[in-house]
Amino acid sequence: LAPGGWLRPAGSPLTVFAHRGASSAAPENTLDSDEIARRGGAEWIENDVQPSKDGVPYVLHDDTVDRTTNGKGRIRDLTAAQLDALDAGSWFGPTYAGARVPSLAAQLEDLRTRGGNLLLEIKGAHTRDEVARIVKEIRDHGMTGRVFVQSFEVDALRYTRELAPELPLGLLRGGLDADPVAISKELGLSAYNPADGALAARLGVVKDLHAAGVAVNVWTVDSAARWKALEAAGVDGIITNRPAELAGWNSAW
Ligand code: G3P
Ligand code: CA
pLDDT surpasses 70 at 80: yes
Tell me the CATH number at 43.
Answer: 3.20.20.190
Tell me if 120 CB under 6 Å of ligand 1. no
Sign of the torsion formed by the C-alpha atoms of 8, 235, 177 and 149: negative
Residue 219 lies in a domain: yes
CA of 186 to the centre of ligand 2 (A): 23
Q: Which of 170, 175, 223 is nearest to 199 (CA)?
A: 175
User: Which residues are paired to 173 by β-bridges?
Assistant: 194
Residue 10 lies in a domain: no
pTM of the model: 0.97
Rounded to an integer, the average pLDDT of 102-128 is 97
Residue 161 lies in a domain: yes
pLDDT surpasses 80 at 168: yes
Residue 8 lies in a domain: no
Residue 146 lies in a domain: yes
CA of 214 to the centre of ligand 2 (A): 20
Q: Which residues are catalytic?
A: 19, 61
Tell me if 48 CB under 6 Å of ligand 1. yes
Residue 53 lies in a domain: yes
CA of 195 to the centre of ligand 1 (A): 9
Tell me: the pLDDT tens digits for 198-217?
Answer: 999 899 999 999 999 999 99
Tell me: the pLDDT tens digits for 221-253?
Answer: 999 999 999 999 999 999 999 999 999 999 886
Rounded to an integer, the average pLDDT of 127-136 is 98
- Percent above pLDDT 70 for the chain: 98
Q: Give Cα 12 to chain centroid, integer Å.
A: 21
Tell me if 172 CB under 6 Å of ligand 1. yes
Residue 9 lies in a domain: no
Tell me if 99 CB under 6 Å of ligand 1. no
Residue 6 lies in a domain: no
Predicted pLDDT at 5: 84
Beta-carbon count within 10 A of 116 CB: 18
Atom of ligand 1 nearest to the CA of 219: 2
**ipTM value of the model?**
0.98
Predicted pLDDT at 55: 98
Pick from 46, 60, 118, 235 the residue to mutate for probing ligand 1's pocket: most ligand atoms within 8 Å of its CB.
46
Tell me: the pLDDT tens digits for 29-74?
Answer: 999 999 999 999 999 999 999 999 999 999 999 999 999 999 999 9
Tell me if 239 CB under 6 Å of ligand 1. yes
Q: What is the mean pLDDT of the chain?
A: 96
pLDDT surpasses 80 at 1: no
pLDDT surpasses 90 at 155: yes
Count of structural domains within the chain: 1
Which structural domain, as residue segments, surrounds residue 93? Answer: 15-252
